[in-house]
Chains A and B, each alone.
Chain A
Amino acid sequence: MKKFKHINARTLDEAVSLLGTYKRKMEIIAGGTDLLGVLKSEILPTYPEAIINIKTIPKLDYIREEDGALKIGALTTLSEIAESSLVKDKYTALAEAAGRVASPHIRWMGTIGGNICQGIRCWYYRYPHHLGGKLICRRKGGSMCYAAVGDNRYHSIFGAVSGCIAVNPSDTAPALVALDAKVKTSKRTINAEEFFTVNGPKTTVLDDDEIVTEIQVPVPDAGTESAFIKFALRESIDFPIINCAAAITCAGGTVKAAKICLNAVYNNPYRATVAEEAIVGKSIDETNAEAAGSAAISGAKATQNNKDKVQIAKTLVKRVTLLISNSF
């Protein structure tokens, strides 16, 4: 690890102004569970001059329901969200997702803000500098995507974005998309889906001087249930091979509305709109759930190494749908 300045921000305004001062030569730290790995392995072409600690900003750690929405402060830890009875009861997918992130230690450290802003896990992107030199891949401004020609078993099944086939690894992101959440930042409030829809080598649309401050999840309509499931090698401790969240509104045994989101299959959380269309207006049974699963992977472009992910994605969409139907 190289030397850098460590600055404790006391207010949001101070943090934002520090971001302006250091331009791109800084990083924000909250839980640090993602950032420390980046710094220790020296994976990026540039190294930050300063780390701005936002944990010292008061009142960014809360879970409350007000004005028709669940509001979660950006510094709220994943374990607080996973254990909140309010979140578990009404925003099940989010509580489940937060509870399936990594290990207890990381859930105690990691924040919701950090979880949705985290970087990719591509093993080429993260190659440690001290093992023969970092790999300057497409995402870092290099000319090639090592994964595209290399071992891409954990990479995108829906193609590349800007020549990069890495996937978004967040567990909470698909839950927020399925629950139609909004992300409030130091300068705006945007839909979660929009927040993750990026075309370049980033995981969010945040500007360089922008900080996530709050997550807002609208109170679900009556008759709505949500769920989250995750497929990983070693249960929760691993990043997902694929995860899937859904929120479904039913009336009289028929699906009125559905939002289904896969993650770790594409550069951003992948809203399976075709699957949603396939299930809306129908009852949830094995056949219809299976059809939704198949619809979700229409247009999949697996590589030679990750065809299993297509099969698993299909299964997860089916299972999450069936899981929700059991809640009604």
Chain B
Amino acid sequence: MGKEYSVIGKPVPLIDGIEKVTGDAKFYGDIMLPGMLHCKILRSPYPQADILSIDTSEAEALPGVELVLTYKNCPIAFWKDLHYAGDLVASVIAVDEGIAQEACDLIKVEYNPKPFVLDIVEAMKPDAPRVFPDRPNVVPGWAGGAPWLPHPWFYYSEKDPVTGLWTKREFCDFQGFGDVEKGFSEADVIVEDDELNYAYTRVHVMEPRGCVAWFKNNKLTVWSHSQGLYRDKETIANAFGLPSNGVNFISPCTGGSFGGKLGNWVKGGVFGGTGVGLIPIFATLKLHKPVKLVLTREEEMLCGWSRGSWSKGKLGFKKNGTLTTMEIEHWVEVGPDRCSHTLGTCHRSTGCMLYAHNCEHVKIKAGAVFTNRFECQGWKGYGNPEATFLVETLMDEAAYVLGMDPVELRRKNHFRKGDPLADSPMYSDVPVNAQISSCGLEECLDQGSKTVGWKQKWEHPGGKMGLIREGLGMGLMVHGAGPVTGASFSSAEVRVSSDAHVVFVTAAADFGHGQHTAQSQIVAEVLGIPYENVRIVCHDTDSTPYAPHFHGSSGTWQQGWGTYEAALDAKRQLLELAAPKLGVKPEELDIRDAKIYVKASPGKCITFAKAFLVEHGCNMIIGSAGTWPPDYRYVPREQAAQFVDLEVDTETGEIKVLKHVCAHYVGQAINPKIVEGQLHHIGGVEAARWCQCIADPQTGRLLTYNFENYPVATIHCRIEPIIVESPGGDPSHPFGAVACGEGGAVPTTAAFGNAIYNALGIRLKSTPFTPDKILKALGKI
């Protein structure tokens, strides 16, 4: 669909695919350096405690031990107060892991265990034990900057009656617009639900967090995974008071991240709340020897939690199904994560964005809640799956009350191109009058419902009998992606040789999502050369030009302009060289199949080598750019509809998925194979079916500490991806791409819950939808 491209939109193989499948690719774990030391961590046995005393003398005396770190000598990574079972108490740096672990067992610690709270609802009660003595467990509002302070919310007080765009945004004690009291009083049908609970779940990555750090010759070098090399380098430099050019951040391959390795800033500071970056860096600054830390799988399971939510909502409709009013209360569990951006993972405004077309009145109250349950980090979905679970469950209930087909109800209300960006307070640097740049929801609904056989199979619930009952459900979603002014500056260097081969240099991280391939396709397309002629170099911050830290599923979008402009710069130079040789002006030329040709008579062409001859005097052109996206007013959003057809076994409570369709709007797929890969998103499936954080109620210990107890989805969870594009793609990207990735996890739990309702006539309000909950709902136990 859309423009004719030669490389864009083609399923070219991953640029690093062969390296990875042959085991040739290097990860930070492969880094071995002479005299390298290893870290092990001693962790808290209690979910809430103060360290009364700590004696490291025996550990330090063990042969092979070089350094023991605690809150006393390394206050940047260790604290005296501990807030989850497994929190960092001390670390031993030794010549091998075995000795380090042995020394950990020799550290004597006296703790003062304190009351703790492991449940979001319990934590919200006024008399609940406090996670942090100096602040309440409940943190209302968006808390981006100074998280422990209640942050003002935005209220749109004025709307242009002609354009329908917002013109004024004010601080308020809730978020929204219009007047919900009025809205509900004028509504024909009101639907409400409460106590919806999305389980605390986690991001898992095949490569555990960790890094290697070496301070030598007054320069710190760090090897680690990354979503943004420059951001990680700056974070390290700031944390340790080093000049920014005193740190070189090297990122070999990254074995998956999904947002979980994005990191936060204060406690735990580098590469996520785990402090894994801080420990080896602190140690090498002291010892001047290379130091490595790799978390075990079980340690990895202690971090990266998020999503636990408790919410309620109320929707007001006209008889014909027009959604006019929305009121939502939404609380998100953030564990003991007092200092990170995860406090902002309440994507509360998702619903009002999704249905911004008709909805006139919105009021949203939301915030974060501390508990003593393990480290929280933002990850794929960033608060949206739980918000969408609420809104899309309510929409399903509304469809039945209104006597409408759930698909038709969505059709009537979803946003359209040009609608105001009602969720923009998430991104307070987005212009107030911003509008959505393109919409593919209609097509997602069409193609998804067709593939699942909605029209033929869907029927109202209630009448189904028999042992095995089939049900169909769906969920719609929008995900806040695209421009954030602080993270959309990108740059690149494109070195074109006379043989039409290119070395493309950028710090744009590829953490498994295919970014290096997609960006290389952009270079090849702009320069009119085969994709195979592009080699990408993305190595470290010393030698590669700046790229933003990718997040919000927006790597293709964030880096797109930098890559595009750099390639265009090279092309311009190339055409200028070629023009005199072809006897025309540069603007009369273009490039195809690595030949520079005259547009008016394509037969008239020369090779790159010919263009380079004589005058140029060298065999390379260097194109470069550092740029912002040209316009922030037209904002893309990731969009999708998911459909689930399942069977429920009423004797065992087991679910069998017959079909799971994910129709995803991407504007223009740069590489459809990569997009498909993104849509095989198992995070939503496992959250719907099996996964949840289980902490022992007595000890606060994590019981879901491996993939046996935390049953992640497997390759058997088949998702049928449908890529939805629009003619010309989205106008905000040089090649029409819209963000793609996170959305795959967003509407899944709602779609599953709605399908179960359709099968049984019973609404399950808490994820995951495990056999015990289904049997209980059926009255079998």
Q: Interface on A for B, CB 8 Å cutoff?
A: 1-3, 40-41, 121, 123-124, 127-128, 130-133, 135, 146, 149-151, 153, 231, 233-235, 237-239, 241, 306-308, 310-312, 315
> Taking the nearest CB of chain A, how far is it from the CB of B93, in angstroms?
16
B705:A131 contact, CB within 8 angstroms: yes
Say yes or no: is B319 at the interface (Cβ < 8 Å to chain A).
no
Q: What are the 10 closest A-B residue pairs judged by CB atoms, nearest first?
A: A308-B772, A307-B781, A132-B45, A128-B298, A315-B651, A123-B703, A132-B43, A150-B696, A133-B45, A233-B711
A-B pairs with beta carbons under 8 Å apart, 17 shown:
A1-B98, A2-B101, A3-B98, A131-B43, A131-B86, A131-B299, A132-B46, A135-B699, A150-B698, A151-B703, A234-B716, A237-B714, A307-B772, A307-B775, A308-B653, A311-B651, A315-B652
* A128 cross-chain contacts in B, Cβ below 8 A: 296, 298, 705
> Taking the nearest CB of chain A, how far is it from the CB of B781, in angstroms?
4
* B704 cross-chain contacts in A, Cβ below 8 A: 123
Of B40, B652, B770, the residue contacting A130 (CB under 8 A) is: B40
> Taking the nearest CB of chain A, how far is it from the CB of B184, in angstroms?
40
B708:A239 contact, CB within 8 angstroms: yes
* B690 cross-chain contacts in A, Cβ below 8 A: 233-234
> Taking the nearest CB of chain B, how far is it from the CB of A315, in angstroms?
4
Which residue from chain B places its CB closest to the CB of A237 in the assembled complex? B714
Which residue from chain B places its CB closest to the CB of A3 in the assembled complex? B98
B536-564 residues with Cβ-Cβ distance < 8 A to A are none
> Taking the nearest CB of chain A, how far is it from the CB of B751, in angstroms?
19
Which residue from chain B places its CB closest to the CB of A144 in the assembled complex? B698
* A131 cross-chain contacts in B, Cβ below 8 A: 43, 85-86, 298-299, 302, 701-702, 705
B688-732 residues with Cβ-Cβ distance < 8 A to A are 689-690, 694, 696-699, 701-705, 708-709, 711, 713-714, 716
* A127 cross-chain contacts in B, Cβ below 8 A: 701, 703, 705
Give bound CA distance, A41 to B298, whole Å. 9
A151:B98 contact, CB within 8 angstroms: no
B81-92 interface code vs A (CB 8 A; 1 in, 0 out): 000011000000
Interface residues on B, range: 35 or more
Say yes or no: is B780 at the interface (Cβ < 8 Å to chain A).
yes
Say yes or no: is B670 at the interface (Cβ < 8 Å to chain A).
no
A132:B44 contact, CB within 8 angstroms: yes
* B772 cross-chain contacts in A, Cβ below 8 A: 153, 306-308
Give bound CA distance, A153 to B781, whole Å. 14
Of A130, A233, A308, A310, the residue contacting B101 (CB under 8 A) is: A130
Say yes or no: is B641 at the interface (Cβ < 8 Å to chain A).
no
A311:B781 contact, CB within 8 angstroms: yes
* A312 cross-chain contacts in B, Cβ below 8 A: 652-653, 771
Give bound CA distance, A160 to B330, whole Å. 42
> Taking the nearest CB of chain A, how far is it from the CB of B303, in angstroms?
11
Say yes or no: is B661 at the interface (Cβ < 8 Å to chain A).
no
B601-635 interface code vs A (CB 8 A; 1 in, 0 out): 00000000000000000000000000000000000
Known: A146-B699, A151-B696. A2 touches B711 (CB 8 A): no
Give bound CA distance, A249 to B362, whole Å. 68
Known: A238-B708, A239-B708, A311-B775. A132 touches B701 (CB 8 A): yes
Say yes or no: is B104 at the interface (Cβ < 8 Å to chain A).
yes
Which residue from chain B places its CB closest to the CB of A307 in the assembled complex? B781
Given contacts A151-B696, A234-B711, A307-B781, 5 further A-B contacts (CB under 8 A): A131-B298, A150-B698, A234-B690, A234-B713, A306-B772
Of B652, B696, B702, the residue contacting A231 (CB under 8 A) is: B652
Of A135, A153, A241, A306, the residue contacting B701 (CB under 8 A) is: A135
Which residue from chain A places its CB closest to the CB of B690 in the assembled complex? A233
Give bound CA distance, A306 to B781, whole Å. 10
Which residue from chain A places its CB closest to the CB of B296 in the assembled complex? A130
Say yes or no: is B102 at the interface (Cβ < 8 Å to chain A).
yes
> Taking the nearest CB of chain B, how far is it from the CB of A150, in angstroms?
5
* A1 cross-chain contacts in B, Cβ below 8 A: 98
* B705 cross-chain contacts in A, Cβ below 8 A: 123, 127-128, 131
Say yes or no: is B654 at the interface (Cβ < 8 Å to chain A).
yes
A130:B654 contact, CB within 8 angstroms: no
Say yes or no: is B575 at the interface (Cβ < 8 Å to chain A).
no
Give bound CA distance, A123 to B693, whole Å. 13
Say yes or no: is B41 at the interface (Cβ < 8 Å to chain A).
yes
B742-781 residues with Cβ-Cβ distance < 8 A to A are 770-772, 775-776, 780-781
> Taking the nearest CB of chain A, how far is it from the CB of B89, in angstroms?
9
Which residue from chain A places its CB closest to the CB of B772 in the assembled complex? A308
> Taking the nearest CB of chain B, how far is it from the CB of A16, in angstroms?
30
Which residue from chain B places its CB closest to the CB of A40 in the assembled complex? B296
* A307 cross-chain contacts in B, Cβ below 8 A: 772, 775-776, 781
Give bound CA distance, A128 to B45, whole Å. 11
Give bound CA distance, A86 to B85, whole Å. 51
> Taking the nearest CB of chain A, how far is it from the CB of B466, in angstroms?
13
B698:A2 contact, CB within 8 angstroms: no
Give bound CA distance, A306 to B772, whole Å. 8
B57-97 interface code vs A (CB 8 A; 1 in, 0 out): 00000000000000000000000000001100000000000
> Taking the nearest CB of chain A, how far is it from the CB of B435, in angstroms?
44
* A150 cross-chain contacts in B, Cβ below 8 A: 696-699
Give bound CA distance, A127 to B702, whole Å. 9
* A41 cross-chain contacts in B, Cβ below 8 A: 298
Give bound CA distance, A2 to B99, whole Å. 9
B698:A149 contact, CB within 8 angstroms: yes
Give bound CA distance, A306 to B771, whole Å. 11
A132:B696 contact, CB within 8 angstroms: no
B247-306 residues with Cβ-Cβ distance < 8 A to A are 296, 298-299, 302
* A132 cross-chain contacts in B, Cβ below 8 A: 43-46, 85-86, 701
